Amino acid sequence: MYKHHRALGLATAPSGTRNGVDIAKLRPAQPVTLLRPHAARRAARFFVEKFPGRSLYAVKANPSPDLLRILWDEGITHYDVASIGEVRLVAQTLPEAVQCFMHPVKAEEAIAEAYFDHGVRAFSLDSLDELDKIMRATATDGVAATDLALLVRLRVSSQHAKLSLAAKFGADPRDVKPLLFAARQAADALGICFHVGSQAMTSAAFSEAMVEVRNAIVEASVTVDIVDVGGGFPSSYPGMEPPPLEAYFDVIHETFEALPISYSAELWCEPGRALCAEYGSLVVRVEKRRGSELYINDGAYGALFDAAHLGWRYPVRRLRDAKSTVRPMEFSFYGPTCDDLDHMAGPFELPGDVGAGDYLEIGMLGAYGCAMRTGFNGFGVDSAEIVGDEPMASLYGAAEPAKRSKAVKR
């Protein structure tokens, strides 16, 4: 096993792939992250081949250097970064990658370093103040930069998404016209971007947002070179089974083609969850059972932040050779820290005879799981293993018949 102590991302796992991790033999006392590079490769190829434009990986979803390299190898050459830390990470890991600084509110020092030290030319903004900041930070001896791609972020609805991103960023509708006009004067390439929220469950989220894009272009009477539809592309979770991703792509393509934009305008998107959710899962051990509550060795301050704080449900299964003859029941989880907040309400369906000493696999944690891990209360150390079996859910289909991770024998 490979031990690591980093709060963000996954450290490099041992080279080579396996068809499963023998949990029965290892009997780990700490959580084990199972990495599925083949699943990330499949997702990347899907977006590269089927999205009708350019896909930028949203690094925040999982900043693992290994994952960045996997996506690069499958044709993802552009990366959506949101901090100078992510800029440095991508520059170090993939020196030839194109980075787009898509956080609408940035430190002036971060903008300057990104522009002058790392070659970043694309920046998002949602206010005149941010535009002024970008122009100051990228100027040379008082002379304004002439090679900037500036993307004005619109505020659009998140009503079709499971996690709203509509409150914090996006230009007020009354300010969009003067902001687009000012950005057009300063930019080599002018773009419009938006974010419909995380885990959008219908393509209507994008069609409705594109109406706002059209209105903004017509009102401002500017030539637009880039339309960035952001993220929000879903993955599959219990109770959240979205339509095929092709349905989203078709709507985006149709609405983009109908916009009054430059003949050479580019279409971008920023998938995060959709590219990496299937990349990772987590094996945890049950330390105690109290009725329908299971005490496990990872939780709200580890990879299960979303399960605790957002009520996110993940697919779960017990790892045992023998099939249970006891009917399933619904459980909630408590994590290992001393906090009552370390609670994942679920419900998570498992065999009714699950108990202390059992190992559980929690799926679809390649997105945001390990990226949110902390070392609070002395917990948070885990191991990473590469496996070759299929993820517990997929929107991309299986490359081969699913093979399960080796189960725990009791």
The verdict on 259 and 114 lying in the same domain is yes
pLDDT in tens, 187-222: 999 999 999 999 999 999 999 999 999 999 999 999
The verdict on 265 and 190 lying in the same domain is yes
Q: Is residue 117 part of a domain?
A: yes
pTM of the model: 0.90
pLDDT at 282 over 90: yes
CA angle, residues 50, 54, 55, in degrees to nearest 5: 80
70-79, 161-170, 306-315, 379-388: which has the highest mean pLDDT? 70-79
Contact indicator for 389, 401 with CB cutoff of 8 Å: no
Pairing relationship of beta strands 198-200 and 2-4 according to DSSP bridges: unpaired
Task: With cut-offs at 50, 70 and 90, classify the pLDDT of residue 361.
Answer: very high
pLDDT in tens, 248-263: 999 999 999 999 998 8
Q: Is residue 396 part of a domain?
A: no
Domain hosting 241: range is 38-276
Last residue of a domain, one of 259, 276, 293: 276
Contact indicator for 19, 372 with CB cutoff of 8 Å: no
Q: What is the pLDDT of residue 13?
A: 33
The verdict on 176 and 135 lying in the same domain is yes
- Which CATH number does the domain housing residue 258 bear? 3.20.20.10
Q: What is the largest CA-CA distance in the chain?
A: 75
- Which CATH number does the domain housing residue 296 bear? 2.40.37.10
Q: Write the burial class of residue 15 (CB in 10 Å: 0-12 exposed, 13-18 middle, 19+ buried).
A: exposed
pLDDT in tens, 292-306: 999 999 999 999 999
pLDDT in tens, 162-191: 888 778 889 988 999 999 999 999 999 999
Q: Is residue 72 part of a domain?
A: yes
pLDDT in tens, 320-338: 877 778 899 999 999 999 9
Q: What is the pLDDT of residue 340?
A: 92
pLDDT in tens, 18-41: 345 677 677 889 999 999 999 999
The verdict on 13 and 81 lying in the same domain is no
Q: Is residue 400 part of a domain?
A: no
Q: Is residue 394 part of a domain?
A: no
Task: With cut-offs at 50, 70 and 90, classify the pLDDT of residue 398.
Answer: low
Q: Is residue 378 part of a domain?
A: yes
**Least-confidence region, from 113-117, 159-163, 335-339:** 159-163
Last residue of a domain, one of 276, 301, 335: 276
The verdict on 184 and 223 lying in the same domain is yes
Residue type, 378: G
Identify the CA nearest to 382 among candidates 286, 276, 303, 278: 303
The verdict on 294 and 305 lying in the same domain is yes
Q: Is residue 405 part of a domain?
A: no
Contact indicator for 338, 299 with CB cutoff of 8 Å: no
Residue type, 213: V
List CB contacts of 302: < 8 A, sequence separation 6 or more: 31, 335, 336, 372, 373, 374, 379, 380, 382
Q: Write the burial class of residue 69 (CB in 10 Å: 0-12 exposed, 13-18 middle, 19+ buried).
A: middle
Task: With cut-offs at 50, 70 and 90, classify the pLDDT of residue 158.
Answer: confident
Q: Is residue 397 part of a domain?
A: no
The verdict on 212 and 287 lying in the same domain is no
Share the mean pLDDT of the chain.
90
The helix/strand/coil state of 261 is coil
Number of domains in the chain: 2
The verdict on 165 and 84 lying in the same domain is yes
Q: What is the pLDDT of residue 397?
A: 81
Last residue of a domain, one of 248, 276, 304: 276
The verdict on 201 and 108 lying in the same domain is yes
The verdict on 12 and 45 lying in the same domain is no
Contact indicator for 122, 149 with CB cutoff of 8 Å: yes
pLDDT at 110 over 80: yes
- 242: phi > 0 → left, psi -120 to 50 → alpha, else beta; which? beta
Q: What is the pLDDT of residue 4?
A: 36
Q: What percent of the chain has pLDDT over 70?
A: 91
The verdict on 194 and 289 lying in the same domain is no
The verdict on 131 and 13 lying in the same domain is no
